[in-house]
Amino acid sequence: MTAPTVKLPAPLFAKLSPHPFLLRNLTSAAGPDRPPARTNGRSTQETRPLLVKSSSLSHAHGSALVRLGDTTVLCGVRGELLPVDRIPGFRPVPAEERRRAAGDDRDRDRDGDGDGSGVGRGELKDYDLLVPNIELATGSAPQFLPGAPPTVLAQTLSTRLYSLLHSTGLVGVRDLRVWSTPGSGPQQQKGEDVRMGGAEEEGGGREDGDVEKEEEEEEEEEDRVVAYWVLYIDLLFVSFDGNPFDAAWAAVVAALRDTSLPVARWDPEREMVVCSRTEKRKLNVTGLPVACTAAVFEEKDLGEVGTGTAEGRHWLLLDPDRLEESLCRETITMVVDCSDGETRIKSIEKQGGTTIGRELIRGFAGIAGKRWEEVKDAMN
């Protein structure tokens, strides 16, 4: 008499033994004509559908909703004016910065050398003009409980976004400056008329050299920065199912591309910056950097690490979900930009493990380039 066999439903098997379940799917489906498949039916290099919807919030200067599979994040960008008298250690910007000839898409701040390398090491970073913040909503995933303080994951994601915003030069400080032009306002113009009348009544008592000197001083003081726009970039994860950084970065890029700031001008009569209620100016976003993340799934379980056994097979899982992330101890994130026809690597981050080497990184650059095309189509 043979013993009865016990068959467990696939969902129950996945909860009881997630690692053997994923390993079984990757190995049983593999063959000469069939690539390895994951538990969700995707191949190892297949990503989840990406949905990008801009202008999702009506009370923000720019917004975007990004859904990557079951991971959904909402991003809103709101600008606030920061007067320079509230900036400790403010360094005046040379007036020639404003008169610099147009044609350079990348901003060149005073600490840069004209090739965009100064972006992120000057005013943007010194004055904290880009402020990202991430909130993982209660109920977006089982581990996020109500009333809990900000998680380590949320703080880590915010720090990574902050670093990438500056290293990629996505936003230039030129679009965030608010300039004042003395002499263009009505009060300044009236004062010049009065001085000119007084000079005529005095019979031209000033020498030509004095007049030229005053004109040079007025020329030097013609342009000055009086305020900056500070961009508060807030992200809210409505649902969380893995790969949060790719979704968050896509939402940030889409929201910034959607951002329009009110035209701000200096009012010399009230000595303050005023904003137009109707006139807006589109924020210039440089390039289209796209993040691509993959996790390394190893044949041996995480509990067997360090037992001295030889390393077995491994699979590179693109766009991992929450279950796959919990089973992998090594991830790689590559940010690329192919806007000019070439794949330019903006950033590479690798966390944990020793499987990924130079050869895998070289091959992963091609995968990231294909992912860039997919994200570009979704953005457009």
Please tell me the predicted confidence (pLDDT) of residue 160. Answer: 96
What DSSP state is assigned to residue 173? G
Q: What is the pLDDT of residue 130?
A: 96
Pairing state of beta strands 62-68 and 50-54? Answer: antiparallel
pLDDT on residue 263: 93
8 Å CB contact between 285 and 258:
no
20 Cβ contact partners less than 8 Å away, ≥ 6 residues apart: 301
Indicate where the chain has its CATH 3.30.230.70 domain(s): 50-179+225-286
pLDDT at 166: 94
What pLDDT is recorded for position 207? 54
Q: Which two tokens stand for residue 231?
A: 């961009």
Between β-strands 50-54 and 272-282, what pairing exists: parallel, antiparallel or unpaired? Answer: unpaired
The pLDDT value recorded for residue 111 is: 44
Phi, psi of 75 (to 5 degrees): -120, 135
- Looking at residue 215, its pLDDT comes to 52
pLDDT of amino acid 108: 43
Contacts of 101 (CB under 8 A, 6+ apart): none
Q: Where are the beta strands (DSSP E) in the chain?
A: 50-54, 62-68, 71-83, 130-136, 177-180, 224-239, 260-267, 272-282, 290-298, 314-318, 330-337, 344-351
pTM score of the predicted model: 0.81
Closest of 67, 12, 68 to residue 39, by C-alpha: 12
CATH 3.30.230.70 fits 50-179+225-286, yes or no: yes
* Residue 357 pLDDT: 87
Q: Are 320 and 352 in contact (CB under 8 A)?
A: no
Q: What pLDDT is recorded for position 270?
A: 87
Which residues are 133's β-sheet partners?
Answer: 234
Report d(CA 207, CA 197) in Å as an integer. 16
Given a contact cutoff of 8 angstroms between Cβ atoms, the answer to whether 374 and 46 are in contact is no
Q: Which has the closest alpha carbon to 285: 337, 227, 341, 224?
A: 337
Q: What is the pLDDT of residue 243?
A: 96
pLDDT of residue 68: 96
Contact 142, 233 (CB under 8 A): no
How would you write the pLDDT of the chain (380 residues) with one tens digit per residue?
566 666 666 666 677 788 888 888 888 755 556 677 888 889 999 999 999 999 999 999 999 999 999 999 999 999 999 999 999 988 888 777 776 634 444 444 444 434 343 433 488 999 999 999 999 988 888 888 888 888 899 999 999 999 999 999 999 999 999 998 765 544 433 333 333 233 333 444 445 555 455 555 544 556 889 999 999 999 999 999 999 999 999 999 999 999 999 999 988 888 899 999 999 999 999 999 999 999 999 988 765 544 444 457 889 999 999 999 999 999 999 999 999 889 999 999 999 888 888 888 989 999 999 999 999 999 98
